[in-house]
Amino acid sequence: MAKDRGLGLEALGRAAERDPSIDRALDKAVLSEIRAHVAKGRDVVVDGRIQAYLLAKEKIPCLKVLIDAPLAVRAKRIAGREGTTVEEAKRE
C-alpha cells in the first residue's frame, strides 16, 4: 500500500495517523490475503495486536499469542529503529 501511494512505510504510518481510512483499507487488504491463503488450506502467521480481533470478527479461526517484553527492551528496539534515544522511546 505504501508503494502504491509512492510513500515509505514511515510516511504511510504518519498519513494513517491523520486519515483512519488508510488503516481500514490496510486491514481490509490483509484480511483479503489471509482469506485467500486459508481458502487454499494454508496456515498463516499474522503479526499485530489488532489482527486477532479482526480475524475473530471475520470468523476466521485463529490462535492468539501475546509476546511481551520489558519496557527497557522495547524502548531499546524502538530507539534503534526510529533513530532516537532510549529515553525518548520510553516517553512515547
Q: What percentage of the chain carries pLDDT values higher than 70?
A: 100
Together in a domain, 26 and 49: yes
Together in a domain, 9 and 27: yes
Domain count, the chain: 2
Together in a domain, 40 and 11: yes
Question: Model confidence over 46-70: pLDDT tens digits?
Answer: 888 888 889 999 998 888 888 899 9
Q: Which domain holds residue 88?
A: 64-92
Check residue 18 and give its pLDDT: 92
Together in a domain, 52 and 73: no
* Three-state SS annotation for 36-75: HHHHCCCCCCCCCHHHHHHHHHCCCCCCCCCCCCCHHHHH
Together in a domain, 13 and 40: yes
Query: Taking 90 as the threshold, does the pLDDT of residue 26 lie above it?
Result: no
Together in a domain, 83 and 54: no
What is the average per-residue pLDDT within 68-75? Answer: 94
